[in-house]
Amino acid sequence: MSSQANSHPSRLPRSHNFRFIETNLAAISHSIEQSVFAESLARQPGLFQSIDPRVKILTLLALLIATGLSRSLAIILALYGLSLIFAWLSRLPLKMFITRVWLFMPFFTGIVALPSLFLTPGPVIFRMPLGLAITYTGAMTALFLLFRVGTSVSLTILVILTTPWNSLLKALKILYVPDVIILILGMTYRYIYLLLMIGADMFLSRKSRIVGHLSGSDERQLLASTAGVLISRSLQMSSDVYLAMQSRGFYRTPHTMDTFKIKSNDLVFGALLMLLSGLAIWLGR
């Protein structure tokens, strides 16, 4: 038994040595997979995928305004239910759609909403130690904040997941977003994932060359050196891309091969959602 353990002395250290690198590789791979998955959802047949991106941008803005102005929790919940129906009709995985919003959003929004439970004056519904009390007004304020944010994020994610990124950026022109902002957003999205792939290659090459145990300081040094190289390569890449764009005659306005054409169903869909948004604002006064 001892001879078998001594014949492979490197098995236990290797699994521990590569845990740090493998964790980073897994995180990078997951980010790239999520991007590819989102693009595939945007190109599959569905309700929202068939709508002109400009119509989706305008109707999203109207629904966000209705969500923000509504003073009725029932109206906000109805708008959230509408986003779930649209996600189902667009063939989005509902479990992924719901968890993407509610898995992390309550934590960050809850930090903001938590003080209102105790600091907002009103009828007490629950008393706690140290003289703290949860009031009805405070609970309703926290619920309004949570569901407003959740509904707004759900509607935004619905549009993002059902629209290719380049088409979405091009559609922002209908809101008169400056070309330089659209260009920065497009290039940032593209080169973030390019740098992630470069980082994955760096971690993989480092993993293939490591022999022995990595201490905590070695892991931190590895992470710092990788980050430094990525920053250096991103600066060099930005300079190369800028010179390449200049040499090809680029001037301010980005162009894509997507062509938008408003169809009758786009007009009907947009008009219905605009009327629905106006009705939600009126009923939620």
Query: How does pLDDT run across 83-110, given as a tens digit for each residue?
Result: 999 999 998 888 888 888 887 776 777 7
Asked if pLDDT for residue 18 goes beyond 80, the answer is no
User: What is this structure's pTM?
Assistant: 0.71
Q: For 208-226, what is each residue's pLDDT tens digit?
A: 766 666 666 766 777 777 7
- The tokens 């989005």 sit on which residue? 92
Q: Cα(178)–Cα(171) distance, rounded to whole angstroms?
A: 12
pLDDT at residue 30 in the model = 60
pLDDT at residue 251 in the model = 67
Q: What angle do CA 228, 234, 240 make, to 5 degrees?
A: 140
Alpha helix positions (H), the chain: 2-7, 11-17, 19-42, 53-69, 73-89, 94-102, 105-119, 136-161, 165-171, 179-207, 216-247, 264-283
pLDDT at residue 10 in the model = 41
pLDDT band at 194 (very low <50, low <70, confident <90, very high): confident
**HSE value, Cβ hemisphere, 13 Å, CA-based, for 134:** 11
Q: For 196-209, what is each residue's pLDDT tens digit?
A: 777 777 777 776 76
